């Protein structure tokens, strides 16, 4: 097995949790076990492919458990694993930080999106 090089203490954590949907999926599963379709209903903008991929990655990382009941129709239940439970307090603190700083977070995100848009050569929107 190869070694993993890190440049800062949080890099491993961020690598494990990176992706647009993983944090949202974990947040849903902190509410209790869910089936695939139930998760999808709570994340209406996610594609089936992206949800499947994120669930596989979370399961491979031992952050969630997957129980296949081997029935027809297919019944698979996803839930938070013991290891996944360890991230719950961190996510709770991130939610507090988000709530406290929401106006600045929105402004920062708008600037990021504007800069990406601007690099593509579109000058039709004004800077915030």
What are 59-101's pLDDT values in tens digits?
999 999 999 998 888 899 999 999 999 999 999 999 999 999 9
In a shared domain, residues 78 and 127: no
In a shared domain, residues 34 and 78: yes
Total number of domains in the chain? 2
**pLDDT at residue 92, as a whole number:** 95
Residue 127: domain span = 87-128
In a shared domain, residues 80 and 45: yes
In a shared domain, residues 91 and 81: no
**pLDDT at residue 128, as a whole number:** 47
**pLDDT at residue 120, as a whole number:** 67
**pLDDT at residue 122, as a whole number:** 58
In a shared domain, residues 17 and 74: yes
Q: How far is CA 49 from each of CA 46, 86, 112, rounded to the nearest angstrom?
A: 8, 27, 27
Task: Tell me how crowded residue 74 is: count the other CB atoms within 10 A of its CB.
Answer: 10
Classify residue 76 as exposed, middle or buried by CB count within 10 Å of its CB (0-12, 13-18, 19+): middle
In a shared domain, residues 46 and 94: no
> What pairs with residue 66 in β-bridges?
78
């Amino acid at each position: 097995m190869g070694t993993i090089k890190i440049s800062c203490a949080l890099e491993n954590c961020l690598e494990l949790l990176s992706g647009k949907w993983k944090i949202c999926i974990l947040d849903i599963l902190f509410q209790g076990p869910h089936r695939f379709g139930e998760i999808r209903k709570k994340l209406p903008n996610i594609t089936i492919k992206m949800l499947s991929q994120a669930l596989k990655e979370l399961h491979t990382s031992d952050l969630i458990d997957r129980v296949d009941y081997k029935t027809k129709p297919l019944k698979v239940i996803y839930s938070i694993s013991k290891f996944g439970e360890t991230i719950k307090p961190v996510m709770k603190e991130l939610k507090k930080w988000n709530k406290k700083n929401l106006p600045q977070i929105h402004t920062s995100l708008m600037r990021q999106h504007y800069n990406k848009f601007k690099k593509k050569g579109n000058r039709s929107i004004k800077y915030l």
